[in-house]
Structure 1
Amino acid sequence: MKRILLILTASILLLSSLTSFAKNQQLPVEAFASIPDVSHVTMSPNGTKIASLVRSEAKGMEGTLVNILDIDTRESSYPIQTDNEKFVILSMSWANDDLLLIKAKFPAVRFGTPTTETRIIKYSLSKKSTSNLLSRFGLKKFKWMPQIQSNIIDYLPDDDKYLLLGTNGIGNKTQFESVIKVNLNNGNIRFEQPAEANVTDWITDRQNRIRIGIYRKETKYRIYEQEDAHKDRRILWEFEAFEEDQVWPMGFAQDKNILYVQAYHEGFEAIFKVDLRDPELAKELIFSKEFNDVEGSLIYSKLKQKVIGIDDGDESEYTFWDKEYIGLVNGLNKALPEYRNYITQFSDNERRYIVYSTNSKEAGTYLFGDRDAGKLFPIAYRYKKLTPDLLANTQTLSYKARDGLEIQAFLTTPLDKEAKQLPTIIFPHGGPISYDSNSFDYWTQFLANRGYAVLRMNFRGSAGYGYDFMKAGLQNWGLDMQNDVEDGTRWLIDEGIADPNKVCIVGASYGGYAALMGVATTKDLYQCAVSFAGVTDIEYLVKSSRRYSNFDIVKKQIGDDYDALYERSPVSKAKDINVPVLLIHGDKDRVVRVQHSEDMFDELEDLNKPVEYIELENGDHYLSNNEHRIKTFVAIEAFLQKHL
C-alpha cells in the first residue's frame, strides 16, 4: 500500500505525501516511542462523522485530543484534551448521531487501597458541550461513589435517549452490580435490575431485557437466565475458573431463545449457539479455528438483524462467518493483497465502513469505505513516520522446548542484515495469559531499527493455543514457562542467528519478571536485562490482591504456597544476578505496584550489583503518557548500547 493520504491530525486536515527514507536509516526514538498519531477510530451511526484519538504536540495541549471529523465537509473539532496523566482515554463509542461517549480511567486510592477508577464523558455535537454521563442528581441515589462507571450493558437502539449501565453502590446489595437506566440528556438514573449476591455482570437480549447474570464466588462461576429483570432465575451452567467445561455467554440472536456462547471444542475455544428452550442445552457449533482459540465479542448487524461474526484484536477487528460479509472482506484482500484487512465498523445502513489494514511492517492504516460511491481511501496512519519500507521483516517459526513441547515464536531481524551472529533481544510478552503474533509491534520495530534481532515467543500458558497449553501455565511462574524462554534463547544461539556474547533479555509486566528471572537463574546466557513494570516478588503480588474481588482467582492462577512463590521471585535471587539490570516503573501503576521495582533496586544496590532504576512520576502500567514512553525508550537504547 503506497502511503499517500492523511486527513486526521491534531493540528490540521491535510493531504500529504510521506517521504521515503533511505533503507537502514536509524529513525528518531520519537518515531517509535510516541503514542500513536491516530487511534480508536469510530464512525457515527449515520456514517457522516468519524471520531478518533490523535496525538498533540501543540504547546499547552500536549497529550491526546479527541478529534471529530465531518466526512463530507472535512471539518474537525477537538472537544477534549488529556495529558494522559490526570486521566487516560480508553475507548470511544457513539450513543447516537449527536452524542459521543468517551470512556476514561484515572488512578485513585480507596481506604488505603490503590484503585483504577473509570468514568464516561459525553460530548454533544449539537450543543458543543461535555459533561459526565451521570449527573450530580443521579449520583445522589448511590450510597457511595461507584468505582467503575463505564460498564455499558446496552445502548437501547430503539430509544437512543437512554442506555443501560452496570454499576454498584446502589440498592440493598451495594457491593454487587445493579443495572440502571441512564437518561443521556440530563444524566438522571432509574433503577432497573437489583443487585444479586455475587452476580458480577448482566447481559441483555436483542429486545433489551436483562436476561443473563454471571455469578462468581471464590473460583466458582454460575450462569443464570431470567425472562426479565425481577423475574425468577435458573442456572444454565456451573463451572470452576480455568476448567475445560466453562461456558461463557456472549449475547443473543434476534430470537430471544437463542444464546451465543464461547466454550471449548476439541480442546480449543469456539463459538456455539444454544436454544434455551432445550432442556439439554445442546451446543451447536457456529465458528471455530483449527489449532487456535476463537476470542472476541459478537458482531450484530442491525440491518440484517442477525449475528454475523466476532470482533477481536487491538482495534476490534471484525472476523465474519456470514457469507455476504466474507465476500466484502475477500474484495478488500484482493485490492490490498499484502495486508491483513479488517473491517472495524459499519454505519447503521452498512453502506459506509472503516477498515484497519496492517501487517508486521505496516504500523496500521485506517481507510474509509463507501459502498454506494464505490470508494475506499486512507484517512489516517497509526504511526505516520513508520512507513513499511523502513521497518524490519518478521517471520513466524517454532522451536522445541526441553520436554518436547512446540513453542511458536516470532523473529524480527534488522532491515537488510543477514540473520547471522546478530546482537539479540529476547522479548517475552506480558500477561502471562496473553500472546504475541506476527503483527506490528512498536517495541520490536524500535529494537530492530537499532540493529538488534528480536525473538518473541508464546511460552506455555500463553492464550490462543487451546486449553491444555493455557492450563500448563497455571501456577508455573519461574518453572516450565521460564524454561521455554531460556530454550528459545539457546535455540537462537544454536541456529547461529544470535551472537552468544551479545544477548539481552527485555520484558514488561510478566515479561519483566521473566527477564529478571532469566539473569537470576542462568549463567553466561544473557549479558543484561531490562524490566519495565516487572513483577519481582510473586508472593507480594498474590498477597496484595487480598483486598480485591479477584483474590481467589489470582491464587488459583499463580498459587498460594507463599514460601515457594518467594523462592521463585527475582527479589529472592538478587545475589545470583551478575549482569547489568535496568528497572523502569510508573509510580501510579495499578496493575503491578511500583514497590516491586523499588524493592528489587534496593536488593541489588545493597549487594553492589550493577543496576539502574528510573521511576516515572504519575506513570501507569501502559506507558500511556508520551513523555514517559520516550523517556523509557531513550533509557533502554542507552542501556543496550552500553552493555551489548
Structure 2
Amino acid sequence: MAILAGFATVGASLPSQDPAPAAPKRAPLPVEAFADMPQLEDPKLSPDGKRLAAKIAIGGTQYFAVLTFGKEGPPQLLGAGKADVNWWRWVNDDWLVIGIGQSVPVEGDEWYVTRAIAYQPTTNKVTQLAPRDVAQKGDDIIWMARDGSARVMLAYQTSIYVNRDGFWPKVEEIDLDTGKRRTILTGRTGVMDWYADGAGVVRMGIGFSEDGRSRRLLYRDSNTAMFRTIDKARRGEDRLTVPALFLEDKTKALVIDDDEAGYSALYELDLATLERGKQLFASKGYDISGLITDANGSGFLGVAVEEDAPDVRWVDPDMQAMQETASSLVKGAKVRIVSTSSDRSRAIVAIGGADAPGGYYDFGRAEKSMNPLGFNNPSIRMKRMHPVRTIRYKARDGLEIAAILTTPKGRSGKLPLIVMPHGGPFARDSESWDWWTQFLADRGYAVIQPNYRGSSGYGTAFARRGEGQWGLAMQDDLNDAVTELARLGIADPKRVCMVGASYGGYAAVRAAQRDGARYRCAVSYAGVSDLNRMMKHTRNYLHSGARSDWLREQAPDLKGVSPLNFPEEFTIPVLLVHGEKDAVVPPVHSRLLADRLKKAGKDVTYIRQPEADHHFSRGEDRLEFLKAMEAFLAKHNPA
C-alpha cells in the first residue's frame, strides 16, 4: 500500500536486471521532468513502525509531515512558518523532536538561529523545548531515553554575547509528557558542545580557547565525577581524539581516526589512556563517512562508506541479514536501508542508482514485500537515464583527481562539456543520482564533476592539499579535467562552460574572471563572490568563534581571489541565480557582482528568486533555474 496515495499517484514496477538496450537518438525530456521535487525526503519510521515522518512534496512545495500506515486521508502536515525544518527524530512511538532554523536580524547582521520543538502526532501538540530566553543555538538534542519514555536532553544558549555566562550552553533534561525539566549541567566557559552516552550521562565536552585557535577535550565517566582535560589540540594543526560512540563498557569507546596511510578508519578507544585499540573497519584508499547507529544514536550497527558510490557495510548480523533479504527482492538497482522499526520487522529502503532516481519503498521483512511510498522524481521514477562513471586524471602537479563523468546516452565523440565543481568545498561528489547533471546530459552535454584537492573522502593529505588554494590550485584542478577529457576524445575543449552552486558557484565566477580563455560561459547558483564578506557571515552563521577565521586560511590573500573585486577581468558571459531566502550564502554576493559587472560593461544575467533558499526546496525555483540555464547554455555553448 502506498501511504502517499491521498495526494500523489505512486506505483511502479521495480527496475529490471536486464541491461538497457542501446538507445536510439530521442527527444530530450521536458525540462519540467527534472524540476520535480522528491515526493519523500529523509523518511524515518516510528519505533513501532506504524508512522513515518518525512518531508513530502505537495504542489512543488515541501512540507514536514507525519504519515500513518493504514490510515486513509491526507497526511498530518506540521507548519514551521518561515523556518527551515533541518532534522527530525522519533523519541518514542508518540513523540518526535524536530530541529528548525531561520535567519534573523541581530544588531545589523543576519544570524542563523536554531530551535528544537517536540511534536505529538496523536494530539497535534507542538512544544518549543528551550525557554523563551534561548539565544542562537537552541536545537542540540544530545540524548534521548532508551526505555520508551519521552525524556530528552537539550543543550542551548541563553545569550549571544561571549562575555556573558549564557553564551556557553547549559544542558537540561526534559520530559515531553509532563513538561518537567531539570538542569543537568550549567554552562562552562569555552565549551560549546556536550556529548552524552546511551545511559544519559554527559560524558564529554569540547572546549575552545578565547581566540578559537586551540581546543581541549573534557571528559568524565559518571555524573558524580569531575570533568578533566584528557586531550588538547591546536586548531588546524592537531586533532582531538573525540569518541564517535560511547560503549556500554565505560572505559571503551569507538573513534574515527586516521590509519597509517592517512585515511580515516574505525578503531576501539581506551578512554583512560586515549590509546587506540584494534582497527574495526577501514575502506582502503578512502575515508569512512561515519557510523550507522540505532535510532537513539547509542547502538553501533554499521559504517557508511563512499568509495566511487555511497554504501553501507553492516557489522550488526541482523541488519546484514535484513539487507540481503531486501536486496534479493530487487534486480538491477541498489537497495539501501534508511530506517527500521525497533523490532526490525519493517524498514524503509531506498532503491535506485546513479542513472535512475528511484524512490523509497516499504519493506515488510516477514512477507518479503516491497510497496512504493514515493519517488525521488515522480516523472522519471525508475527509468534509466544517462550513464555515470568515475574517472581519474593527473593534475598538472601530478596529484591524482577522481571525477564523476556523466555522458549523454547514445552520443559519443567530442561532446560539449560542462565542468561542475561541487559545493562545500569540504565535500565530494560520487556516483549517485544528480538532477543537475542528468538534465545537462539529457540536453547533450558531457558533465564532469572533479573532486578537486581539498575535497573530503580521500584522506587527510588530499584534504590538506586544498589549504590556501581556493581560487588557485583548486581552480587548476578543474581546468586540468578539461585537458584530460580532450585528450581522451570525450570533450571538445573549445565548447566548455562551468556551472556550480555555493562554492561551485564561486569556482564558476572565478573561472570567468581568471580563466575566461578556457570557457565559453559560467553559471553560478548561490555562489560566493567575496571571501572576506563570506568570512564575516560565516562567523555569524556558526555557533561559536572557534572557526570564525577558518576561511582566512584558505588563500594567501582573500581579496585577491574574490571575483567581486575584479569585474574588469571577466571575459565571458555569466548567469547568476540566487534565492533571497538563502541563509548559507547571502544573496548580496550575486547582487553586488551583477551590479559591478554591469557597470564594467560585461555580459551578465542576474535572476533574483524571491522565495528560494540555498537548497532548492521549491519546485518552481528549480524549474526557473533549469529553464534559464538551458537557454543561457544554448546561446553560448549549444549542444
TM-score (norm 2): 0.90
Q: Work out whether residues 397 and 409 of structure 1, in 8 Å CA contact, stay in contact via their aligned partners in 2.
A: yes
Residue deviations 1:468-501 (CA, integer Å, cap 9, x gap): 0001111211111110001101222232222233
Amino acid at match of 1:124: Q
CA shift at 1:67, angstroms? 3.7
Residue in structure 2 matched with residue 537 of structure 1 by the alignment: 530
Secondary structure, aligned partner of 1:139: coil
Residue in structure 1 matched with residue 595 of structure 2 by the alignment: 602
Give the one of 265, 271, 276 matched to 2:266.
Answer: 271
Give the one of 76, 80, 89 matched to 2:77.
Answer: 80
Task: Find out whether 1:119 has 2:124 as its counterpart.
Answer: no
Amino acid at match of 2:36: S
CA shift at 1:172, angstroms? 7.5
User: 1:6 and 1:242, CA in 2 relative to 1: closer, same or farther beyond 3 A?
Assistant: farther
Q: Within 5 A, what are the aligned runs for 1:17-56?
A: 24-56=26-58
CA shift at 1:531, angstroms? 0.8
When structure 1 is superposed on structure 2, of 569-578 and 383-392 the one drifting more is: 383-392
Task: Find out whether 1:626 has 2:624 as its counterpart.
Answer: no
Residue deviations 1:99-141 (CA, integer Å, cap 9, x gap): 23333222212222212222334332322x131332xxx625x
Secondary structure, aligned partner of 1:45: coil
Residue deviations 1:305-356 (CA, integer Å, cap 9, x gap): 952224578x997532234433432444444353332211221112222211
CA shift at 1:546, angstroms? 4.9
Q: Work out whether residues 98 and 124 of structure 1, in 8 Å CA contact, stay in contact via their aligned partners in 2.
A: yes
Divergent runs of 4+, >6 A: 17-23
Task: Find out whether 1:8 has 2:28 as its counterpart.
Answer: no
Secondary structure, aligned partner of 1:247: coil
Residue in structure 2 matched with residue 89 of structure 1 by the alignment: 85
Residue in structure 2 matched with residue 193 of structure 1 by the alignment: 185
Residue in structure 1 matched with residue 359 of structure 2 by the alignment: 365
Task: Find out whether 1:473 has 2:466 as its counterpart.
Answer: yes
| Equivalent-residue separation in structure 2 for 1:441 and 1:329 (angstroms) | 24
When structure 1 is superposed on structure 2, of 223-232 and 473-482 the one drifting more is: 223-232
Secondary structure, aligned partner of 2:623: helix
Q: Within 5 A, what are the aligned runs for 1:162-181?
A: 162-169=151-158, 173-181=165-173
Residue in structure 2 matched with residue 70 of structure 1 by the alignment: 68
Residue in structure 1 matched with residue 431 of structure 2 by the alignment: 438
User: 1:475 and 1:576, CA in 2 relative to 1: closer, same or farther beyond 3 A?
Assistant: same
| Equivalent-residue separation in structure 1 for 2:508 and 2:105 (angstroms) | 30
| Equivalent-residue separation in structure 2 for 1:316 and 1:78 (angstroms) | 31
User: 1:9 and 1:565, CA in 2 relative to 1: closer, same or farther beyond 3 A?
Assistant: farther
Residue deviations 1:395-430 (CA, integer Å, cap 9, x gap): 110111001111001111112212x12121110011
| Equivalent-residue separation in structure 2 for 1:203 and 1:280 (angstroms) | 17
User: 1:111 and 1:288, CA in 2 relative to 1: closer, same or farther beyond 3 A?
Assistant: same
User: 1:271 and 1:240, CA in 2 relative to 1: closer, same or farther beyond 3 A?
Assistant: farther
User: 1:195 and 1:159, CA in 2 relative to 1: closer, same or farther beyond 3 A?
Assistant: farther
Secondary structure, aligned partner of 1:282: strand
Amino acid at match of 2:208: R
| Equivalent-residue separation in structure 2 for 1:585 and 1:549 (angstroms) | 24
User: 1:306 and 1:627, CA in 2 relative to 1: closer, same or farther beyond 3 A?
Assistant: closer
User: 1:318 and 1:497, CA in 2 relative to 1: closer, same or farther beyond 3 A?
Assistant: closer
Residue deviations 1:286-312 (CA, integer Å, cap 9, x gap): 211101111224414889x95222457
CA shift at 1:389, angstroms? 3.4
TM-score (norm 1): 0.89
Give the one of 382, 385, 394 matched to 2:376.
Answer: 382
Secondary structure, aligned partner of 1:263: strand
CA shift at 1:567, angstroms? 1.2
Secondary structure, aligned partner of 1:559: helix
Give the one of 401, 405, 416 matched to 2:399.
Answer: 405
Secondary structure, aligned partner of 2:111: strand
CA shift at 1:196, angstroms? 0.9
User: 1:518 and 1:285, CA in 2 relative to 1: closer, same or farther beyond 3 A?
Assistant: same
Query: Share of identical aligned residues, percent?
Result: 31
| Equivalent-residue separation in structure 2 for 1:643 and 1:346 (angstroms) | 49
User: 1:357 and 1:88, CA in 2 relative to 1: closer, same or farther beyond 3 A?
Assistant: same
CA shift at 1:6, angstroms? 4.9
When structure 1 is superposed on structure 2, of 259-268 and 586-595 the one drifting more is: 586-595
CA shift at 1:65, angstroms? 3.1
| Equivalent-residue separation in structure 1 for 2:489 and 2:63 (angstroms) | 47
Secondary structure, aligned partner of 2:343: coil
Task: Find out whether 1:395 has 2:389 as its counterpart.
Answer: yes
Q: Work out whether residues 419 and 499 of structure 2, in 8 Å CA contact, stay in contact via their aligned partners in 1.
A: yes
User: 1:220 and 1:311, CA in 2 relative to 1: closer, same or farther beyond 3 A?
Assistant: same
Task: Find out whether 1:161 has 2:144 as its counterpart.
Answer: no
Residue in structure 1 matched with residue 19 of structure 2 by the alignment: none
Q: Work out whether residues 85 and 619 of structure 1, in 8 Å CA contact, stay in contact via their aligned partners in 2.
A: no
| Equivalent-residue separation in structure 1 for 2:86 and 2:299 (angstroms) | 28
Secondary structure, aligned partner of 2:440: helix
Q: Work out whether residues 6 and 72 of structure 2, in 8 Å CA contact, stay in contact via their aligned partners in 1.
A: no
| Equivalent-residue separation in structure 2 for 1:607 and 1:264 (angstroms) | 49
Q: Within 5 A, what are the aligned runs for 1:563-582?
A: 564-582=557-575
| Equivalent-residue separation in structure 2 for 1:530 and 1:189 (angstroms) | 51
Q: Within 5 A, what are the aligned runs for 1:74-473?
A: 74-80=71-77, 86-127=82-123, 129-134=124-129, 139=131, 144-158=133-147, 160-169=149-158, 173-217=165-209, 218-229=212-223, 231-243=225-237, 245-266=239-260, 267-277=262-272, 279=273, 281-300=275-294, 306-311=299-304, 318-418=312-412, 420-473=413-466
